[in-house]
Amino acid sequence: MKAGLGAASLAALGTRPGFARKAFGKKATARKILILGCDGMDPELTDRWMKEGKLSAFKRLAAQGGFRSLQTSIPPQSPVAWSNFISGMNPGGHGIFDFIHRDPKAYFPVFSAAATEEATKTIRLGSTVFPIKGGAVRNLRRGKAFWQTLEEHDIPATVFKIPANYPPVATKQRTLSGLGTPDIFGNYETFQYFTTEPKEIREDIGGGEVRQVYVIGNRIEAKLRGPVNTFKTDRPNADIDFRIYVDPQHPVAKIVIQDHEFILREKEWSGWKRLRFPLILTQSISGICMFYLKEVRPVFRLYVSSINIDPADAALPIATPPSYAEELERTFGPFFTKGLPADTHALDNDILDEAEFLEQDNFVYEESRAMLDHELGRFDSGLLFFYVSSTDQRQHMFWRLLDEKHPAYDAKLAKSFGSVIEKTYIEADGLLEHAIRRVDKETLVLVMSDHGFNPFYRGFNLNTWLRQNGYLRLTNDFKREDLEIGFPGTNWSRTKAYGIGLNGLYINQKSREADGIVEGGAEADGLIREIARKLEEFKDPQTGDQVVLKAYAAKDVYSGPYTDEAPDIVLGFNRGYRSSFGSPLGRVPKDVLEDNRSKWSGDHMGAAEILPGILLSNRTIRADAPALADLTATIMDVFGIEKPRELIGTSVFKE
Ligand SMILES: [Zn+2]
């Protein structure tokens, strides 16, 4: 999957997105709306820390207008949930059902958010290929974004890093893409790590690359991996050679790369460095990354962050108008553009430790804070949406240290990092406090999250469960497991159902799947009901707990023109459970359940009923059980726009 998205994304480089550069909506609105979107903020934790007096701005807002749980999407994954909010529809209307969809003709996982088409016409000159026509990245979310509707009514909006908007949909409004935006490899994360310790070399490490280096006479020669060069017929990587000089006495090293020359002390970050990855004579790709000198001696260890798309010279579309990203860069210097900004896999793989990861994630927070300030300073009309990522990323990585029952709990680490999540909520409270002070009385302030959070104790291998229940068959019945992605060992002529994606189950249906065997209509419907019932009956033999709290039939929970593209069953896990890491990509491991010992320890793949997000407002919320799509309707209502027909929500300020 990594290779697929990576290679393809850069094929789009021949063309720059042609967004209009005209100014955005000019209407001065009587009311303004400020929305702070804190990814993954959980109502229970928010309530607890509000009651303990730790979230004073939240508490004041709750007293003013109310604090509610906000019904999330089915499933409560960020791309799905934010798409509900963006479009005011459910997944049947916007077509995003999971992080991962599947190609029914290949039984293979594909990213749901964006697709890249390679150039349809190229010219070849020797070993060089020039794209002439085609080649573009496409946002796969359907329906209109709320800021597009506002634009039609000439109401200005600034939308900062809202997830599920990569590439940003065409608009004259100011938008910057967020979650879903790749690094320059087209991946969600690609850190690089250079070490002299052979024991640390691992071939296949998720989210990055580890490379052995040698110190020869105080000097290290290394190569920084660059993106695939699609201008060359053999598609090599556009790597950059660089050199490190290790100080013979002090824990210090000098790094020389392109026109940069800088000295780092041990445990020091370099700040952003801009690099140009050479493609052909007239073409290169600009990327930005940070260097971190983890150790000089006895082992030399250097970490290089994922190479982010350069906001000053974006190789892929990240903003509307493109000049918006350039303008922010001129004001603040380079900044994180990658959708999941911090490198969580680097922490998960012990490349960065907890403190180092937090240092990196703190850069994200500081950058965002400055940009929020900047936007508040010119917020004189319309809507401002601002996104906070740390609430989600840190709950994923630090849940294990706030919860003694977690298989990855570590008492020693918990002493230092057990309060990271609490501190992160307090930081969000600080952002809100700051924002409230800067807006006038006429501004409607909304704080929302897309879903809540819960522990991830045990991983469920859906495909293994399907195999044990006779719905999925391997070609070799005696084989204990099939660990390659994309079901290479599956016998499709005897398989009735399979799982792809974090919550998705598909029937192997005739004339839809390549080798489908189940007749559509009544036969498929009967099978869906049967499997859903059995899934809900299944208990964890170790704990006796129900694993799948709700197995939703897509037809029961989705409406809209794209319902047919949904998984046939969407799994809503019980508290503590989630799909395993392998099954969503089409692996069939030996055991149905496995303990999660990974640092990725909190999650939100459960039943929507148990993972609501939050909603707070400075104006009285009248809805008892508001949902994400109701917020979209609320925006229309506040600006006096007649609600577009396809929107399913109702303003939260109406009874
Ligand atoms: Zn998340």
* Distance from Cα 496 to the centre of ligand 1, integer Å: 31
Half-sphere exposure of 560 (CA within 13 A, CB side): 23
Rounded Cα distance between 556 and 395, Å, is 31
* Distance from Cα 605 to the centre of ligand 1, integer Å: 9
18 pLDDT exceeds 50? no
* Distance from Cα 641 to the centre of ligand 1, integer Å: 32
For 210-238, give the DSSP string. EEE---BTTEEEEEE---B-TTBTT--B-
* Distance from Cα 240 to the centre of ligand 1, integer Å: 33
* Distance from Cα 402 to the centre of ligand 1, integer Å: 17
* Distance from Cα 495 to the centre of ligand 1, integer Å: 32
Per the rule left: phi > 0, alpha: psi between -120 and 50, beta: everything else, 467 is alpha
Report residue 56's pLDDT band, with 50, 70 and 90 as the boundaries: very high
Residue 1 has a pLDDT of 40
Residue 151 has a pLDDT of 97
DSSP 3-state assignment of 437? helix
Q: Are strands 319-320 and 174-177 parallel, antiparallel or unpaired?
A: antiparallel
* Distance from Cα 52 to the centre of ligand 1, integer Å: 25
CB atoms within 10 A of CB 198: 7
410 burial type by CB count under 10 A (0-12 exposed, 13-18 middle, 19+ buried): middle
Residue 204 has a pLDDT of 78
Rounded Cα distance between 188 and 5, Å, is 10
Rounded Cα distance between 629 and 643, Å, is 12
The CA–CA distances, whole Å, from 426 to 61, 374, 454 equal 15, 21, 19
* Distance from Cα 612 to the centre of ligand 1, integer Å: 13
Is the preceding peptide bond at 167 cis, omega within 30 degrees of 0?
yes
pLDDT in tens, 260-287: 999 999 999 999 999 999 888 778 899 9
* Distance from Cα 452 to the centre of ligand 1, integer Å: 9
Rounded Cα distance between 15 and 118, Å, is 11
* Distance from Cα 59 to the centre of ligand 1, integer Å: 24
Q: What is the pTM of this model?
A: 0.94
DSSP H or E stretch at residue 560: none
* CB distance 582 to 549 below 8 Å: no
Of 359, 41, 318, 32, residue with least CA distance to 160: 318
Residue 128 has a pLDDT of 72
Eight-state DSSP code of residue 169: P
Residue 24 has a pLDDT of 53
* Distance from Cα 213 to the centre of ligand 1, integer Å: 35
pLDDT in tens, 334-361: 999 999 999 999 999 999 999 999 999 9
* CB distance 135 to 123 below 8 Å: no
* Distance from Cα 458 to the centre of ligand 1, integer Å: 17
* Distance from Cα 423 to the centre of ligand 1, integer Å: 18
* Distance from Cα 395 to the centre of ligand 1, integer Å: 8
Angle of CA points 339, 377, 33, to nearest 5°:
70
Helices and strands in the chain: count of H runs, count of E runs? 16, 30
